[in-house]
Amino acid sequence: MSSLAGLPAVPDSALPADVRSGSAEDKKAYKAALGFEQVMLGELVKASTESTPLAEGPYAGAVNDAFSSALANAGGTGLAAQLYAQIKQEASS
C-alpha cells in the first residue's frame, strides 16, 4: 500500500471492484480521490466540532480522527467516486 504525497494511505480493499481490477493508473487515481475525500471529511469534522467541548482537551485530535474515519469507512460522501469519474473522463479526452 503506497501513499500519495500529503494524502492518507488507502488500502486496495477500500477500492471498488472495478478499480481493483483496473490498471495501476486507475488505482492511483481512485486512491487520490479517496484520500482527498478523507482530508475534506477531516476538515469538515474539525469545523463542525470547533465550538464544542469535543474540540478541547488532550483527545480532541483523536476524536476528530475517529469521526472522520467513521464517516469515510461508512461510505463517505460519494465525492471520491465523482472525482474518479471526472479524472477518468479527462484522461480519455
Residue 15 lies in a domain: no
User: Which backbone phi and psi does 8 adopt, to 5 degrees?
Assistant: -65, 150
Counting the structural domains of the chain, the total is 1
User: What's the pTM?
Assistant: 0.76
Residue 2 lies in a domain: no
* Predicted local confidence at residue 38, as pLDDT: 87
Copy the grid coordinates of residue 29. Answer: 487515481
Domain that holds residue 75: 22-92
Residue 6 lies in a domain: no
Residue 26 lies in a domain: yes
Per-residue pLDDT of the chain (93 residues; tens, 9 = 90+): 444 556 566 777 778 899 989 999 999 899 888 888 988 998 999 899 888 888 888 888 888 888 888 888 788 899 999 999 999 899 887
Residue 11 lies in a domain: no
Residue 87 lies in a domain: yes
Q: Which of 9, 51, 5, 54 is nearest to 31 (CA)?
A: 9
Residue 31 lies in a domain: yes
